[in-house]
Chains A and B, each alone.
Chain A
């Protein structure tokens, strides 16, 4: 297993266009996360999947954003009607479920990210 992969690595689009990013997690990981990172900042949580269920969405995720994980494996993040403020690095991470008693500090493994530039 080569880790978490993301495609494309770079995307340049014009304002108003729709874009879709893909994340392939580590195969045995059932938890998947999306983050957004802007220049000079740490990653900010966007959303989380446990298998195919989207269990949490940040308020950062406006109605123009939608994420799916249809079969509990890869995930897609779509941004509709892109705005210049959407320009950022979009990171995907995955982890195993860990202890049945709750979160036990399982390590999140990050992909290389997709850098989006909206002109």
Chain B
């Protein structure tokens, strides 16, 4: 079974500063990794995902995450945050290449607050 740890429950950061949201996972098999974002009063949206290939994946709004198999991590970074990035961020994992359904395990979330 897979599990996800997000050590930082809240991350306050000033506007235009860099940010890193940490995610570590546990699994005995190969995994796919995801970051979802939940803006206030909105549903979860996929931010980016790692399936295979390049370990660095990027989103359209400037976030990137790097899959590190040896450290079992998938940290999310952005070099310069905006007020609009204020949201809850969830790291998630699922078994890679499974023949059954897509059971996604979510972490507890990190609340990112961007301070003007």
**Contact of A108 with B42 in the complex, beta carbons under 8 Å:** no
For the complex formed, measure the closest distance between the CB of B44 and the CB atoms of chain A, giving whole angstroms: 4
Interface size on B, residues (CB 8 A): 29
Tell me the interface secondary structure of chain B in the complex. loop
Residues of A within 8 A of B (CB): 4, 31, 33, 40-45, 48, 50, 55-56, 91, 93, 95, 101-113
A-B contact count (CB 8 A): 73
11 A-B pairs within 8 Å (CB atoms) are namely: A4-B43, A42-B90, A42-B106, A43-B90, A48-B101, A48-B103, A55-B101, A103-B97, A103-B102, A105-B51, A106-B102
**Contact of B9 with A40 in the complex, beta carbons under 8 Å:** yes
Tell me the interface secondary structure of chain A in the complex. loop
Closest A residue, CB atoms, query B9: A40
> With A40-B109, A41-B109 known to touch, is A56 a contact of B45 (CB < 8 Å)?
no
Task: Specify which chain A residues have a CB less than 8 angstroms from the CB of B98 in the assembled complex.
Answer: 102-103
Q: Mark B98-116, 1 if CB is under 8 A from A, else 0.
A: 1111111111110000000
B46 within 8 A of A: yes
**Contact of B100 with A56 in the complex, beta carbons under 8 Å:** yes
